[in-house]
Amino acid sequence: MSIFDEAGAAALRGETITAEVLAFFDFRDAPQRVHAGFGTLRAGGHDWQGLGGLGSVSDIESAVGGIAPLVTFTLAGVGPEIARDVIDARTAVKGRDCRVYLQLYGADLAPLGGLYTLYRGVMDRLTHTAAGPDAWTAQLTAETRFSRRGLPPFGNLTDADQQRRHPGDAGLFDIAQMINRRRPWNPEIPETSS
């Protein structure tokens, strides 16, 4: 058993190592494996199709302090057929898995070692904009699996939502006033400001 993995051993030999960001989108009808470069790459037992520099991924931030930052995938230079995908996004995109990987390659574009997972998320919204009749840009947002974990399915933590679900329930009547505020559970205890 060697001390270094394949990429480390290649670097020690002075070989050129390149890295490529790969993305997997589990669309309902046709899952996609892509990378931002050109041509087809082989990694993890799959072929990854190049987008020819037309795709990009926003910064991937760690979920710190209970905040689940969004990741945005952008595809520029697409045609008007993207409008149909946006219409079908609720069933074909929303709530489905997506992943971002890093793969190291040698000078001959042979994979060095396995895939490194950079991000695992759930696709949320697919939107598009048109700069002209044939120049469209699509943006897909994704969030981590832990976002909105404490909320009821298809619901919000608001009094209006609670009243729609359970009329007369006063459990969330003052949720807006509770932000950044400490309130004792026992109404007999006077509230103090700190």
**Is 150 within the bounds of a domain?**
no
Alpha-carbon gap, residue 99 to 13, rounded angstroms: 32
Give the pLDDT confidence score for residue 1 in this predicted structure.
41
Residue ranges making up the domain that contains 175: 155-194
Predicted confidence (pLDDT) at residue 19 exceeds the cutoff of 80: yes
Q: Which residues lie below 8 Å from residue 75, measured CB to CB, with a gap of 6+? A: 51, 54, 55, 82, 137, 138, 139, 140
Residues 81 and 165 placed together within one structural domain of the fold: no
Give the angle subtended at the CA of 12 by the CAs of 9 and 16, to the nearest 5°.
Answer: 90
Question: Is the pTM for the entire model greater than 0.75?
Answer: no
Q: What is the pLDDT of residues 74-131, one digit of tens each?
A: 888 777 667 677 777 778 888 889 999 999 888 888 888 889 899 999 988 888 887 7
**Is 166 within the bounds of a domain?**
yes
**Is 65 within the bounds of a domain?**
yes
Residues 70 and 132 placed together within one structural domain of the fold: yes
- Look at 151 and 163; give whichever has higher pLDDT: 163
Span 27-40, average pLDDT: 89
Residues 163 and 76 placed together within one structural domain of the fold: no
